[in-house]
């Protein structure tokens, strides 16, 4: 009998690995954490979004007396995971997709003002002309015409100091690639049951479009001039975005930096999530460019090896291939 038990144990079937799947979906919807909403709210809001052609007209909870200007009202994404057929759970931080999400209670303005200007009540101005179109003096065009081809999104000023004491402010959310939110709305509108649903489609945060393609050109264009004026640029991003930067070299002191990265986190709250300052990182422009592009140039030898390999694969009969 004992021998049989031991034999059965020896030939026991191996344990199957759990099936884990995950997708990104709504983190916050019109400022409320998706997991804080009840199923009836999901169905009602999704049905409304499907019917509306454009913006819903609902208020943005982060901009005082202003309607939401993002179609669908999704403020952020979150990663949802399911093990086998178990419950769906949100994991990890929320990821800011709408720049207005950063404006909660003006926290970032006070934080940047205190750090760079020494005031918790800075004056905020927006859409300030920065790059002026080249003028044709012979045609009588003057610099004051204000035909700007580039602007600084936000400028914070110290409310009392003279001469003016100010800093530029860039706010960058994250784009996402993959299926649009319409698929989520269609699924939620027809949802049966009260359990948190698994996302309906594949999508992911697009760090490459958000960083190298959007934010990087802004920094490269504005920083050199603002640096010569003796001023700083503040960049506000969330901790998920900051985590995508590769090997960012830091400066110990503000005086040695050109760019100050203000990194926010989101902590659980009654309505879902609350924006909280996490850390400030001082850097130079060159270090920021390197971190955003996520790499260093190859050596000439390594690059040319790729040329040789590509040439032999795509044009094997080319005269150059016999010389390489």
Is the same domain home to 118 and 67? no
Is residue 29 included in any domain, yes or no? yes
Is residue 137 included in any domain, yes or no? no
Domain end position, chosen among 161, 187, 205:
205
Q: pLDDT per residue over 35-69, tens digit each?
A: 999 999 999 999 999 999 888 899 999 998 899 99
- In 3D space, the residue among 242, 176, 199, 10 whose CA is nearest the CA of residue 88 turns out to be 199
Amino acid 53: pLDDT: 85
- 113 secondary structure, DSSP code: I
Whichever domain contains 240, its CATH number is: 3.40.1350
Contacts of 253 by beta carbon, 8 Å cutoff, 6+ apart: 282
Residue with tokens 């002309």: 129
Concatenated DSSP letters for 237-304?
EEHHHHHTS-S---BSSGGG-SEEEEEEEEEEETTEEEEEEEEEEEE-HHHHHHHHHTS-PPPHHHHH
Q: pLDDT per residue over 70-126, tens digit each?
A: 999 999 999 999 999 999 999 989 999 999 999 999 999 999 999 999 999 999 999
Q: What is the pTM of this model?
A: 0.84
Is residue 140 included in any domain, yes or no? no
Is the same domain home to 108 and 61? no
* Domain range for 314: 299-324
Is the same domain home to 274 and 286? yes
Is the same domain home to 214 and 241? yes
Banded model confidence at residue 135, pLDDT cuts 50, 70, 90: low
Is the same domain home to 123 and 39? no
Is residue 13 included in any domain, yes or no? no
What is the number of domains present in the chain? 3
Q: pLDDT per residue over 209-262, tens digit each?
A: 899 999 999 999 999 999 999 999 999 999 999 999 988 999 999 999 999 999
Is the same domain home to 77 and 151? no
Is the same domain home to 27 and 106? no
């Amino acid at each position: 009998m004992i021998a049989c038990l031991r034999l059965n144990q020896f030939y026991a079937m191996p344990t199957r690995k759990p099936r884990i799947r995950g997708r990104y979906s709504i983190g916050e919807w019109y400022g409320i954490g998706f997991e804080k909403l009840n199923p009836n709210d999901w169905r009602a809001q999704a049905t409304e979004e499907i019917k509306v052609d454009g913006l819903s007209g609902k208020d943005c909870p982060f901009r005082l007396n202003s309607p939401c200007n993002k179609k669908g009202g999704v403020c952020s994404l979150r990663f949802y995971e399911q093990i086998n057929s178990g419950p769906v759970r949100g994991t990890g931080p929320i990821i800011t997709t709408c720049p207005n999400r950063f404006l909660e209670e003006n926290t970032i303005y006070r934080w940047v003002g205190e750090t760079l200007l020494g005031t918790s009540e800075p004056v905020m101005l927006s859409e300030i002309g920065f790059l002026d179109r080249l003028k044709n003096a012979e045609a009588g065009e003057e610099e004051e015409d204000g035909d700007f081809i580039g602007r600084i999104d936000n400028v914070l000023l110290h409310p009392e100091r003279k001469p003016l004491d100010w800093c530029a402010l860039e706010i960058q959310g994250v784009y996402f690639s993959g299926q649009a939110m319409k698929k989520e709305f269609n699924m939620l509108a027809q949802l049966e049951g009260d359990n948190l649903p698994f996302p309906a489609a594949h999508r992911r945060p697009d760090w490459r479009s958000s960083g190298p393609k959007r934010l990087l050109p802004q920094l490269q264009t504005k920083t050199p001039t603002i640096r010569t004026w003796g001023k700083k640029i503040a960049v506000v991003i969330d901790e998920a975005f900051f985590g995508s930067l590769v090997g960012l070299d830091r400066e110990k002191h503000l005086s040695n930096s050109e760019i100050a990265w203000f990194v926010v986190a989101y902590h659980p709250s009654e309505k879902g999530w609350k924006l909280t300052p996490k850390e400030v990182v001082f850097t130079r422009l060159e270090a920021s460019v390197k971190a955003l592009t996520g790499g260093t140039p190859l050596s000439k030898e390594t690059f040319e090896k790729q040329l040789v390999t590509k040439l032999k694969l795509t044009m094997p009969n080319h005269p150059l291939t016999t010389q390489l």
